[in-house]
Structure 1
């Protein structure tokens, strides 16, 4: 925001975490599908662990950085991606926060989580 760093460098810094974020979340979705198949919704996903808060924080920080990303002129395709992030991410962050609070209140604590032999 200060203008000290070139906008093209900031876009590169934004693209790299976005790619890593998509890969990590893709892996987590695949793991979640496997847990649902193996244990069902309640035992497979309805487990509270503090790492869920860290993931929501990551979503939020990616959104915050996206909100201040200076996209200019020739970066129109990235502007479309950024606009999509800015449109959808607030709903995702709020939804995940509500779900995590609900799991924290009603779900199983991580002390009784899936045994290590069954984790993926």
Structure 2
């Protein structure tokens, strides 16, 4: 039973490998929207956070969809950790911290459009 359904929005710059780019390296801009609780979750948490993500996949222009689990909460702020697997089988993990309140744990589904410099330069 879902007690809370919500979401999150993040944006950033990614630097990494891209087999379509000159020199196999690329810089990409992205934004990601995530739904929390669609497939199960409980609690409520809110806050602003600085995040870092590690992924087993390379960079590419296009749309990436993923799903996984998230925990968010803390007594004096917001600490969040999530793990997800995308539609290509790549895994990613994110750790976030910042001011906030509440506790939430459950399922997460995300969608991430990305555009890379190599695509813009042709």
Q: TM-score, normalised by structure 2?
A: 0.21
Look at both structures and tell me which one has the larger radius of gyration over its CA atoms. Answer: 1
Bigger fraction of residues in helix: 1
Bigger fraction of residues in strand: 2
